Amino acid sequence: MKKFEQARRIMFSDCDNAQIVFYPKYFEWFDRATQSMFDEVGLHWSKMWPQYNIAGIPLVDAQAKFMAPLRMEDDIIIESWVEEWSGKVGIVRHNVLKGDVIHVEGTEKRVWAVKAPDSPKGIRAGIIPEEVLSLLMGD
Distances (CA, A) of 106 to 61, 63, 92, 124: 11, 6, 8, 25
pLDDT in tens, 61-81: 999 999 999 999 999 999 999
Dihedral sign, CA of 25, 91, 63, 58? positive
Cα separation of 88 and 43, whole Å? 18
DSSP string, the chain: ---EEEEEE--GGGB-TTSBB-THHHHHHHHHHHHHHHHHTT--HHHHHHHHTEEE--EEEEEEEE-S--BTT-EEEEEEEEEEEETTEEEEEEEEEETTEEEEEEEEEEE-EEE-TTSTTSEEE-PPPHHHHHHHHT-
What is the pLDDT, as a whole number, of residue 139? 65
| Residue 115 β-bridge partners | 123
Average pLDDT, the chain: 95
How far apart CA 127 and CA 111 sit, in angstroms, is: 9
Q: What percent of the chain has pLDDT over 90?
A: 89
pLDDT of residue 121: 80
What pLDDT does 119 receive? 78
Q: Which residue has the higher pLDDT, 139 or 68?
A: 68
- Fold for the domain defined by 4-137: Thiol Ester Dehydrase; Chain A (3.10.129)
Domain ranges for the chain, please list them.
Answer: 4-137
pLDDT at 1: 86
Average pLDDT over residues 112-133: 90
pTM to 2 decimal places: 0.93
Identity at 32, one-letter amino acid code: R
Most distant CA pair in the chain: distance in Å?
Answer: 51
Over the stretch 13-51, which tens digit does the pLDDT of each residue have? Answer: 999 999 999 999 999 999 999 999 999 999 999 999 999
Question: Which has the minimum average pLDDT: 5-14, 21-30, 114-123, 124-133?
Answer: 114-123
Q: Residue 85 in contact with residue 133, Cβ under 8 Å? A: yes
